[in-house]
Structure 1
Amino acid sequence: MAEKKRSLSYYLLAGFFGLFVLFLYGPMSAIFLLSLQGPEGQLTFPMRGFSFHWLKAVFEPQRVGNFVDGFGRSLWLGLIVMLITVVFSVMAGLAFRRKFFGSNLIFYLTISSLIVPSILVSLGIGILFSIVGLDNQWYSSALAGHLTWTLPFAFLIMLGIFGRFNPAYEEAARDLGASDTTTFWQIVFPLIASSVIGVGLLGFTLSYDEFTRTSLISGETNTLPLEIFGMTTNVTSPALYALGTLTTLFSFALIAIALVAINYLSRQQTR
């Protein structure tokens, strides 16, 4: 069979997508290259030698700050935010499948956090935690601040997921005598598991690189974005570029793990 000839619009759209990818990752290539300089490397071109010196320097104390401690705080905070975001967004999605008293008010209050300037949200959280005496516990205030950012997004996504969910599967399970708990874990959850992984990855990503909401409520304990900002405002080195390279690899690794998990769950559903 002769191969179908592609239309002109296909090549135009493919070219546009190529330009879009170049726009996204083109500037990052400069960071990748500058992070592979020798010990005498500077912040601008031309490159001075080639080595992995600055990649190793990321794991050592810097002139200002410490990347390793900041990464650990951001990682654990992101994982906790991801877990809470997934649990509460799924529960909210299940609850909003049916109309109940005050549902519209709760909906608009939830998404209003996306409209209010983040600096005001973090300032209010900082004042509230200071009043109740938790201003020295950076993880509790930072957790609250990040959840005001991740939960509304996850909530909207879960509404869309459950809006397309076919209730016939649940009705069939109940007709066969399954309880609500059994129906959820054996019927509903496997069908939405791929979407739940996506929501969890989104929640982790939003928390991991959040700066504004963290800046006013973390106190003297910095997450990774705050460490990076502190380093850019003082004397810095190509170690900052090396951190960008390692963070990009870390992000791609997370995406790869999520895709493998989604693919595995899809095969399980097919079986």
Structure 2
Amino acid sequence: MTDTALFAAAARPRTRAIAPSRGRRPWTFYALATVFVAYVIALYGPMVCIYILSFQDVKGGLVFPMKGLSLHWFIDLFTQARTGDVKGSFSRSIKLAAMVTVITVVVSFISGLAFRRRFWGDTVIFYLMIGSLVVPGLVLGIGTGLLFTALGWEASWYTSALGAQLSWTLPFGVLVMFAVMSRFDQAWEEAARDLGASPWQTIHMVIVPILAPGLVAVGLFGFTLSYDEFSRTLQTAGSLNTLPLEIWSMTLNVTSPALYALGTVTTIVSFLAIGACLAVIFVMQRRRAGSAPAH
């Protein structure tokens, strides 16, 4: 072998095949896998059982084994008066959740703007905003109902229930907004002012578009928390039930899979709302990435 060949052989990168490990996994892997599987079963098992039993035929009952397969109980849910005021309660819950969502987004956004700079009493105001998180929901609902009674106001799903639910959604919205605001670069705001934008134009054309995914997340929190809220609504909804209250009342007098069908429908609505918000956030991020200048 010549000197050139020896030099080339020495300079060639040497790789050593790594033999795949043939040893068994440690016992901790199987122990943790068992705990994880048990957790998933405990988390989703009850919901899956309700979804399956809601698709029984007219002979179906509240327990397994499942009898037949049909959409009978979904049709019965919206046609039979004996199942309760499903349409009305569903409509009220959607309207209430929409109002809560709008107010939560607006107040959380304003709070995020206000708390970017320190001001006198900001710590006290912050703890007052999140203080309702540590109060039991049922106690806060009772207090809200008593307050409306003492003031001579009528308790209803769009007044007292709205106030009680905002005490639950606003702290979450404000905390999420603070996390979003912490990543906001104020140089963009200063650049808009340097270009002659008014304060309203800066908010409308710079701050809101940049923070739009975070605002959608705050809205999602407000909608889902309101749509499923029971304890804070129980003593404040007045004579007309929201959907969670209607489901609770149905457990006292409905002994058919129609109750399971209602649970399935409400879950579908929740997943549709979550999916819609995630889709909006995804589209916003894609547009933002597409409009970003290439370096």
TM-score computed with the length of structure 2 as normaliser: 0.83
Looking at CA atoms only, which structure, 1 or 2, has the larger radius of gyration? 2
CA RMSD in angstroms, aligned pairs only: 2.3
CA distance in 2 between counterparts of 1:204 and 1:31 reads 23
Partner of residue 179, structure 1: 198
**Structure 1 residue 64: Cα displacement:** 5.1
**Structure 1 residue 220: Cα displacement:** 1.8
Match for 2:211 among 166, 172, 192? 192
Query: 1:169-248 counterparts in 2 under 5 A?
Result: 169-248=188-267
Query: 1:252-263 counterparts in 2 under 5 A?
Result: 252-263=271-282
CA distance in 2 between counterparts of 1:19 and 1:171 reads 53
Q: Which secondary structure does the structure 2 equivalent of 1:138 belong to?
A: coil
Partner of residue 54, structure 1: 73
1:157 matched to 2:162? The reply is: no
Q: Would the aligned equivalents of 1:61 and 1:67 in 2 still touch at CA under 8 Å? A: no
1:78 matched to 2:101? The reply is: no
Unaligned runs of 5+ in 1: none
TM-score computed with the length of structure 1 as normaliser: 0.90
Q: Identify if the C-alpha distance between structure 1 residues 262 and 15 changes in structure 2 by more than 3 Å, giving closer, same or farther.
A: farther
**Structure 1 residue 219: Cα displacement:** 2.1
1:116 matched to 2:151? The reply is: no
Cα deviations across residues 185-230 of structure 1 (Å, max 9, x unaligned)?
Answer: 2111111101111110110110011101111111221101111111
Partner of residue 10, structure 2: none
Query: 1:29-68 counterparts in 2 under 5 A?
Result: 29-63=48-82, 65-68=84-87
Match for 1:95 among 114, 125, 129? 114
Partner of residue 162, structure 2: 143
Cα deviations across residues 134-176 of structure 1 (Å, max 9, x unaligned)?
Answer: 2244320110010000001101111111122111111122122
**Structure 1 residue 24: Cα displacement:** 2.9
- Report the number of matched residues: 266
CA distance in 2 between counterparts of 1:221 and 1:61 reads 19
Q: Would the aligned equivalents of 2:115 and 2:122 in 1 still touch at CA under 8 Å? A: yes
Q: Which secondary structure does the structure 2 equivalent of 1:42 belong to?
A: coil
Partner of residue 16, structure 2: none
Identity %: 49
Q: Which secondary structure does the structure 2 equivalent of 1:59 belong to?
A: helix
Partner of residue 9, structure 2: none
Q: Aligned letter for 1:159?
A: F
Q: Would the aligned equivalents of 2:97 and 2:223 in 1 still touch at CA under 8 Å? A: yes
CA distance in 2 between counterparts of 1:126 and 1:49 reads 45
**Structure 1 residue 62: Cα displacement:** 4.4
Q: Would the aligned equivalents of 2:156 and 2:239 in 1 still touch at CA under 8 Å? A: no
CA distance in 1 between counterparts of 2:40 and 2:270 reads 16
Q: Aligned letter for 1:32?
A: Y
CA distance in 1 between counterparts of 2:143 and 2:78 reads 35
Partner of residue 131, structure 1: 150
Q: Would the aligned equivalents of 1:82 and 1:201 in 2 still touch at CA under 8 Å? A: yes
Moved more, 176-185 or 56-65: 56-65
Q: Aligned letter for 1:98?
A: R
**Structure 1 residue 241: Cα displacement:** 0.6
Moved more, 93-102 or 62-71: 62-71
**Structure 1 residue 18: Cα displacement:** 6.4
Q: Which secondary structure does the structure 2 equivalent of 1:139 belong to?
A: coil
Q: Would the aligned equivalents of 1:38 and 1:53 in 2 still touch at CA under 8 Å? A: yes
Q: Which secondary structure does the structure 2 equivalent of 1:153 belong to?
A: helix
CA distance in 1 between counterparts of 2:226 and 2:179 reads 22
CA distance in 2 between counterparts of 1:109 and 1:31 reads 40
Q: Aligned letter for 1:246?
A: V
Compare relative contact order (CA 8 Å, sep 6+) and give the higher one, 1 or 2: 1
Q: Would the aligned equivalents of 1:36 and 1:53 in 2 still touch at CA under 8 Å? A: yes
Q: Aligned letter for 1:265?
A: M
